[in-house]
């Protein structure tokens, strides 16, 4: 009986991959909702005047990251074409670089391009050969 339970422990669970995918998509949905809410607050407080284009691009970058996370969470099949969570990471890194160099427009645009390239290479590929 002890060997039978040891053998059953080494077998993979049937629904394990699906549960992991659902947990991952829930995290993306929560992160996306938080970022979109923060972007809305940013539009109402920080970027309410259009005198400073860097503030506007910073808040737009947060909004785009949130939307990317939301789409990645609600449509996990999109990851076969483009891993959108990496687009959000690229935008975030671009925003950090833009803030450090005081060129937010260049940072957000460059981060978006970097995120798109990173998302393309990090996409999930089906094993159909």
- Per-residue pLDDT, 25: 75
- Per-residue pLDDT, 7: 47
Is the pLDDT higher at 28 or at 11? 28
- Per-residue pLDDT, 36: 95
Confidence of residue 33 (pLDDT cuts 50, 70, 90): very high
Distance CA 30, CA 85 (A): 12
15 burial level (CB within 10 Å; 0-12, 13-18, 19+): exposed
Q: Which token pair is 40?
A: 């809305």
- Per-residue pLDDT, 22: 54
Confidence of residue 67 (pLDDT cuts 50, 70, 90): very high
Q: What is the pTM of this model?
A: 0.75
The stretch 81-94 carries a mean pLDDT of: 91
Distance CA 107, CA 115 (A): 12
The stretch 91-118 carries a mean pLDDT of: 93
- Per-residue pLDDT, 49: 78
User: Could you read off the pLDDT of 37-60 as tens digits, one per residue?
Assistant: 999 999 899 887 777 888 888 999
């Amino acid at each position: 009986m002890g060997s039978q339970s040891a053998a059953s422990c080494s077998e993979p669970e049937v629904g394990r991959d699906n549960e992991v995918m659902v947990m991952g998509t829930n995290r993306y949905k929560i992160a996306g909702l938080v970022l979109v809410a923060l972007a809305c607050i940013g539009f109402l407080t920080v970027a309410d005047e259009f005198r400073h284009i860097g503030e506007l691009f910073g808040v737009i970058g947060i909004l785009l990251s949130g939307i990317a996370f939301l789409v990645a969470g609600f449509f996990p099949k999109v990851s076969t074409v483009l891993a959108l969570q990496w687009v959000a990471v690229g935008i975030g890194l671009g925003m950090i670089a833009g803030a450090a160099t005081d060129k937010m427009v260049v940072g957000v645009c460059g981060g978006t391009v970097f995120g798109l390239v990173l998302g393309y290479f990090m996409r999930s590929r089906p094993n159909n050969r």
